[in-house]
Amino acid sequence: MTKMRIAGIAMGVALLAALVALAMCRGLIGGNESERAAADARKAAASSVNQAFVAEQQAWRNQRVEELLRPDGWTSLVGLHWLELKAHYIGSGARIGNGVRFAFGPEKMGMISRNADSSWSFVPESGVALTLNGEPLKGRVALHSDHDPEPSVIGFDDGKGQVTLLRRGDRDALRVKYADAPTRLQFAGLGYWPADPSWRIEGRFIAHPPGKTLPIGDIVGTQSDSPNPGVVEFVRDGRTFRLEALGEPGRDMFFVLADRTSGHGSYPAGRFLEAAWPGPDGKVVLDFNRAYNPPCAFTLFATCPLPPPENRLDLAITAGEKNYTSPVH
């Protein structure tokens, strides 16, 4: 075999090898493109789901701020006055004998007095423009507390101000709201941990016997028995946790809870969470991205419930609303 023929065969083999390699390379490239396209599609779908989740959370946060900043929202509280005597004159005047002095409103609003059955009545001051549940108030009226089906609301200053009667244990108090409260007008906004789908956890509802209650203390030192329909079990980081639910069917379940972030990023006295009642399968979705501060985080004049021992979790819930820093001192 001549050297020229051998060289020609070698060149042919080399060309064939190059063609095979090129074909294999093209096949590999095509496969990679397909895999990349599938991966990109998955990323796009995940991004779409995540964007929808973030938008949903933002809508909830916007509604939360709107509720706080209503003219009669929690940021409008300007007074909590305990009724220690059988009768009190009430108003904003400092030197006209008011036993209960308000921060806003008429200098002398009227007199509140305790009846023989421990209920309360109110007599308005002559010539002062007041309303009761939106209607002009002209004479003596019975006052219904927040424990009654229709609480009484005394309005003043053309509706900017409201006075309501509270009952906490065996004590009564007047709560005052005012639309121009500094805590409302200088509201500093809410801070949150980043919205995280992993903190939307599906739990299991375990019902308690009908009629069970749970003692719940509040920040002013009183305690009351709240309906306790059951407990929700959930798993986080491989560990099982339980939250006692409060409330009754017909409205969302309510949780008062504390966790490892309480006082370390979130409000020290705990946070609130709501969840829809379970269906027949007993499943409950706990979205901790919607854990929110109690009213006491924004005002000194609220009477917030405190987490029961059962709802103090050995878990850092880095989701939901962070502690609020008020610019008003």
- Tell me the residue range of the domain where 134 lies: 74-185
* Domain-ending residue, one of 154, 185, 216: 185
Q: Is residue 127 part of a domain?
A: yes
Q: What is the pLDDT of residue 42?
A: 58
Domain total in the chain = 2
Q: What is the pLDDT of residue 49?
A: 60
Clarify whether residues 95 and 147 are in a common domain: yes
The Cα 231–Cα 208 span in angstroms is 7
Q: What is the pLDDT of residue 296?
A: 96
**Which regions of the chain does DSSP assign to beta strands (E)?**
77-82, 87-91, 100-101, 110-114, 120-124, 131-132, 135-136, 141-143, 153-156, 161-168, 171-178, 200-207, 213-217, 223-227, 230-236, 239-245, 253-257, 271-275, 283-287
Clarify whether residues 111 and 219 are in a common domain: no
**Tens digits of per-residue pLDDT, 209-222?**
999 999 999 999 99
Q: Is residue 40 part of a domain?
A: no
Contact between residue 261 and residue 329 where contact means Cβ atoms under 8 Å apart: no
CATH code at 152?
A: 2.60.200.20
Clarify whether residues 221 and 95 are in a common domain: no
Clarify whether residues 100 and 228 are in a common domain: no
| pLDDT-derived band at 46, boundaries 50, 70, 90 | low
Predicted confidence (pLDDT) at residue 166 exceeds the cutoff of 80: yes
Least confident of 2-6, 199-203, 261-265, 274-278: 2-6
Predicted confidence (pLDDT) at residue 34 exceeds the cutoff of 90: no
**Tens digits of per-residue pLDDT, 53-102?**
999 999 999 999 999 999 999 999 999 999 999 999 999 998 777 889 99
Q: Is residue 117 part of a domain?
A: yes
Quote the distance between the C-alpha of residue 273 and its chain's center: 6
- Mean residue pLDDT across the chain: 89
The DSSP line for 190-252 is --BPPP-GGGEEEEEEEEPPTT-EEEEEBTTS-EEEEE--EEEEEEETTEEEEEEEB--TTS-
Q: What is the pLDDT of residue 36?
A: 72
| pLDDT-derived band at 322, boundaries 50, 70, 90 | very high
